[in-house]
Structure 1
């Protein structure tokens, strides 16, 4: 019976292999018809009997950077898998066990022994490059070039170079390795350099959060000035406002950012900026001999100011049947889209009422906005 087979196996002789095949056949016969819970003893006997065979296969791979004890452990795992999957109808157990054990050992080298993760495709190519390098070195009596390796393996040179570079990932140098000589410095001391901008990281994070609290226009102007390297004149032309107004907006935004960074809790953007100035826009109407003159002064860049202008112009063209309405823009220093929209609403009301509407004495920055909106025909000079 298989249970009486000796477990003292020595060299890999043909007789030993025959005994292993015989032991496997005896194991298969022994467990035939037994329930799974009663097969454990027979399985353990076969595994113990085949352990020397697994050890011999493991010793073939010693000297490759892995401890022999680890290789033997992997080989035993492969042996257990072979015993569990053994089917006597498929042939020799010895051949099947050898393939399973060797495959497990190679898988261990492939997946567990690399110091740096390298894709499997590259790992396989590294082995092929190593074999081709050895063969070509023997043939050419020199180290082969990348082009020669590429031709031998029928692989693009880029992939050959990637494999050669990735080969260093198998056993990377330790950052704690001594540099050498009398110095006590380590390899890691030579890698990298001081980052002088590290101290500014906290400020950058704080500023990025504060920028989100600014109105869209101020954020856009800051980005154009400091990230786009545009001049104030270029920004003014883009927004259709004066360069002086751009300077004021930049100064106001930077002052708020500076104060917010120094404060424990940044306050919301105060329209002691924009909205307060918009509310200080002055709009007045004066009638003289059937003609109405609407005088505007300030910056028409927010809805409150634009609404004042809209109401004043619409009232002027719809009240009292005037012969002409003139909007005097001489003191308007800036006007954006909402201000232009107010004038467009006044033009439409004048067309419906049949009252001539004229825009007078607009500054150059405002003229650009009027021209872009199609209001240039309404301009007149006095």
Structure 2
């Protein structure tokens, strides 16, 4: 059995050479035991040698606005699936077999992860056209094109271009960790989350007091006096009992009944 050649950096093998060498590696892969060191070497080398197929397929999606490396990583999953399912007996070039797997995986990625909000189909398609037009005009003009220039290039009304540009904001949701300012050091950077407002915890107290006020007015004068002494003046039950001339136990029962009544009223209001 012929030994597989050792390739130091399979990713640098030229595509033409990769096609020829892939046949050798696939031939050996079919007879090697899965899980062995030699099997893993053959499989990993096939992946590295054929990453150029992924880059070729990814170039078709360069106007989508996503990070190219992310697309390549997703496409590599398709490449691995193709390698695991390829059969030399089919007498078809591996590249012909693999590219549909790679493209399919990339399309699935866009289908499942893009457009953070619902946008009409025509605006989704317009976003792609705008991305291509901006790229072409930026090269030609050596600057970002204006809305008027984009409209003229695409033969559209300026209003349509503006609508398309606004809709593009729904392509990916912004991260709360996105920096909002630039400074000289990392300590100068603030994320969007740092400047967002938050609910004032005192609002709940104000809301509760507004709800409680009419319920307190429904109590008789003696009950209101007991509530004031206990929760306003922070007197103990014994002190309240001495003030009213009743036992501490009686004060405890009165407070329990009053609090239960107020709590029930608060729940009804909510």
Larger RCO (CA within 8 A; separation ≥ 6): 2
- TM-score, normalised via structure 2 length: 0.49
- TM-score, normalised via structure 1 length: 0.38
Kindly indicate which of the two structures has a greater share of residues assigned to helix: 2
